[in-house]
Amino acid sequence: MTTAAGPRLAIVGAGSLIGEALIELLRERRFAHAELHLLDDARDLGRRPAGEDETARIGDVAGFDFARADLVFFCGRAAVAERHAPAAAAHAWVIDGSSAFRGRDDVPLIVADVNGERLAGAAGFAPGARRGLVALPGSASVALVTVLAPLHALAGLERAEVATYQAVSGSGRAAMEGLAAETVDLLGGRTTKRHSFGKQIAFNVIPQVDALDADGVSLEERRLLAETRRVLGMPQLAINATAVRAPVFFGHSLVVHASFAHEVRPAAAAAALGQASGIELIEAGSPRLYPTPATEALLPDRIYVGRLRADPTRDRSLNFWIVADNVRKCAAHNAFSVAQILVNRSL
């Protein structure tokens, strides 16, 4: 039961990049909680998450009694969530950042800045309150829908052509270490021997994120389509996506060409984006010119939009560029924001 100090929390995948970012957010925002349990599967047992003191060690999720928690974050691999999240949801609210439950119609798929109102019926943490699963979209989908939502409200979105340039941190810590190792080898004039993505990623781009199916479409491209449609509530929305892996540590970037049912001019679109939650628009005339992964993506808790302009080849269409920190803003901050919504329901 939640105490006056706040809900009892558990973070599964506490040693992952997203888990560590979430712990940092909880500390920065002084999120009131009665207890905090740091958990993972066997590969991370006993590890100390970055930024935590020596007493903070990761315990075994397999042996944890989820009756000891009111709110559980899953921040790691889908296999771990599939194995343990249903049991946790019998006792607690579960916020799952993996891909395990995103496709289930009975599990809400939430981007707090876009469709957080879907949790309006949640009963918070009062004794006997309903518990259950809440799924979070992938980071590229979060960035995309956060920007498309206010534009759809303005002019009626009909189609989006999207190319994502995704940071290696989207594949976890080992992928980041792989990029670093490849870079050191190549700068030292050595042939790099290890390839985290099957091909060299350092000083390269790879037009594939996750496995390709028989039609040549990647799982990430299919996820982007399905998740965007679900969050926006537009099951027939036309989205054509290409997902690319880029040699960047943090910060997904997206090129978007969007077409609308009604006339929309860049000035009106800029005004709509400027009033939307979680977005910062960088105007063409500003000293910054446009966002990049190495600059704005590392600033906290915003999705940045730049290069906003009319499409000269199509009516009622806009072109723009999106950059966001995939780990902190799109994953950890979204999970944190969903938790805030659930906690506020209990007040």
Residue type for position 206? I
Say yes or no to pLDDT of 347 above 60.
Answer: no
Calculate the alpha carbon distances from 126 to 32, 34, 122, 328 in Å.
Answer: 16, 15, 11, 29
Q: What are phi and psi of 299, to 5 degrees?
A: -80, 155
For the residues 12-27, what does the mean pLDDT come to? 94
Cα–Cα–Cα angle for 170, 174, 176, rounded to 5 degrees: 60
Task: Work out the average pLDDT over 306-329.
Answer: 97
Angle, helices 219-232 vs 139-155, to 10°: value is 40
Amino acid type, 143: A
Give me the pLDDT at residue 2, please: 47
Sheet of 279-281: strand order equals: 238-245, 157-166, 252-260, 317-324, 303-310, 279-281
Q: What are phi and psi of 86, to 5 degrees?
A: -60, -40
Give the torsion through C-alpha atoms of 176, 220, 311, 283, to 10 deg: -40
Residue 50 has pLDDT above 80, yes or no: no
Single-letter amino acid, residue 198? G
Rounded mean pLDDT, 95-114: 95
The per-residue pLDDT for 128 is 47
Give the pLDDT score at 280: 95
Task: Delineate the domains of the chain, giving CATH numbers in brackets.
Answer: 8-137+331-345 (3.40.50.720), 140-326 (3.30.360.10)
Q: Kindly report which listed range (168-172, 195-199, 256-260, 263-267) carries the lowest average pLDDT score.
A: 195-199
Residues 242 and 166: their CA atoms lie apart, in Å, by 11
- What is the predicted pLDDT for the residue at 1? 43
Cα 337–chain centre separation:
12
DSSP string, 84-104: HHHHHHTTSEEEE-SSSSTT-
Q: Is the pLDDT of residue 10 over 60?
A: yes
How does residue 293 score in pLDDT terms, banded at 50, 70 and 90?
Answer: very high
Q: Give the mean model confidence (pLDDT) for residues 173-199.
A: 90
Average pLDDT, the chain: 91
Query: Strands of 35-40's sheet, edge to edge?
Result: 59-60, 35-40, 8-12, 71-74, 93-96, 132-135
What is the pLDDT confidence band of residue 323, given thresholds at 50, 70 and 90?
Answer: very high
Q: Is 275 helix (H, G, I), strand (E, B) or coil?
A: helix
Instruction: Please say whether the beta carbons of 301 and 278 come within 8 A.
Output: yes
Position 170 scores a pLDDT of 95
Residue-level pLDDT at 49: 62
Tell me the mean pLDDT in the region 51-63: 75
